[in-house]
Amino acid sequence: MRKQHFIRVIVLIMCITSIATKSYSQSAIVVKNAYIKKGDASYLYGFRDSKRIEIDTAYAVVAGKISIATKEALKPGMYFISTPSIIEKEPIQILLSQEQKEQINIECEESSDKIKVDKNVEGDVYRAYIEAARQYFMQQDNYRVQLRSVSTEKEKELLLKKVTDAQQQFYNFGVQTAKGYPETLLASIINCNNIPPNPDDKFKSYLEHTSSIQYKTATDFIRKNYWSGVDFKDTLLLNTPFLADKTENYTRQFNPDDSNTVGIVVELLEKSKVNPQLFQIISDAMFQIYNKPGSDYYNNDVTIAILNKSLEQTFIPDWKKLSIREQIKIIQKNKIGTIANNITLKDSSGKSHVLKESKATYILLYFYDPECHSCAKATPIVKDWAGKQKNLKIWSVYIEQDKAKWEKYNNENSSPENWLNLWDENREDKLTEKYWIDGIPAMYLLDKDKKVLLKNASFNQLANYFSNE
């Protein structure tokens, strides 16, 4: 479970009994507070397939209350209601287990502790659970601090036992709470976020030694238990942010250099394919993580495995599969371990430089634009570091076509001796076809044979590679 799942103000509406009242074509939410002024705005947000969407905006017609009338009944899921900041700076959350057709009344006083919502029996239970979670995380943080100051192995052992005991107690609390409210969104959320304590966790210390037995034991436990509380056929979680968040957090349980990552990803996608919507949420979340340039988790092999798994699914339409196949072709360009595409670029004097003819032990291709904000921050750092490296040649490649702007930048900013300023004049070499540059700055590290060692690397990855040489 992650702390950010729990926002300070949680209001839970559980519609678990049939409504023997008149059926409405729309839902209404009324927020009452003495501080609301005429013209004040309130916004209603929800989630569809884990993506946040804006549903409606309302303005106070009279002082003291704001009425939000949605165009249709609210579907099961999580909703946010923002109110004027004088009432509550954070949004009020509403969770619905069934479609909501009757009016929801919310009365706010001076603080969030005095928010009252009609038909909110289950809300009290959830708020108690949230408060227990806050106390638990505070306790865990305190144990982390204490762990830094222990002087003997016995003290460390006793403290770690307190950690595991607290984890088990909180897990048991979540299990019992969820059991009391079966087949509700409350139970689905708690079960989704309530992960069995990992006996080899110890604050993720296992991540430091990926080749150790502890790492294998810990990650085997995670693969078996992390998703045990999720019913992949359950539709209640689709309209909440929890599935995408849980997927992202799941990837962080493994070292980016774990050689089993492809298997780990495919294993999860195989489980989730029983629910097409859930499969799409999880595959999209993992794609964003493993295809983000400059990220420690950037991995072409994993990204292609995700896309190939999508191609296998009969519920993915043919038109989308065509797009996926094109994505795979793009990602396969200049993969790590392959020979980089040859390019011929020019310097400001017009002299040509051919990549395959370079004799450097290492070559760093640095794609950038002087007007790029991220490049402006990164380039001086890369220059300072690169100038201290032996056997490294930097090809600093300007990706646009404004020669005057490029030359002005080069004249005003000094470069180390091993730094070449180059460009693809008039796009004669079709640079952007040979290298898919999804964001800048982008860095590719090549060896003397022009084999790709790092692709779309972060500066830390680059520096770490040379520090281990």
Q: Which two tokens stand for residue 197?
A: 């304590």
pTM of the model: 0.82
Contacts 24+ apart (CB under 8 A), 200-208: 201/167, 202/160, 202/163, 203/144, 203/147, 203/163, 204/253, 207/254, 207/255
Banded model confidence at residue 121, pLDDT cuts 50, 70, 90? low
CB environment 321-350: b (16+ within 10 A), e (fewer): eeeeeebeeebebbebeeebbebebbeeee
pLDDT surpassing 60 at residue 21: no
Looking only at the bridges linking them, the beta strands covering 92-96 and 77-82 are antiparallel
d(CA 283, CA 158): 41
pLDDT of residue 334: 95
Which DSSP state fits 40?
A: -
Of the candidates 343, 348, 340, which has an alpha carbon nearest to the alpha carbon of residue 421? 348
Q: Which residue has the higher pLDDT, 416 or 438?
A: 416
Q: Which domains does the chain have, with CATH numbers?
A: 3-121 (2.60.40), 344-467 (3.40.30.10)
Structure tokens at 35: 């501080």
pLDDT mean over 220-243: 93
* 450 Rama class: left (phi>0) / alpha (psi -120 to 50) / beta: left
Q: What is the mean pLDDT of residues 332-352?
A: 94
Q: What secondary structure does DSSP assign to 187-250, as a single string?
A: HHHHHHH-----TT-TTTGGGG-TTSHHHHHHHHHHHHHTTTT--TT--GGGGSSHHHHHHHHH
Question: What burial letters (b/e) apply to 377-404, b meaning 16+ CB within 10 Å?
Answer: ebbeebbeebeebeebbbbbbbbeeeee
User: Residues 131-173: pLDDT tens digits?
Assistant: 899 999 999 889 888 888 888 888 888 888 888 889 899 999 9
**Distances in whole angstroms, Cα of residue 432 to Cα of each of 31, 365, 374, 427, 450:** 53, 13, 20, 8, 18
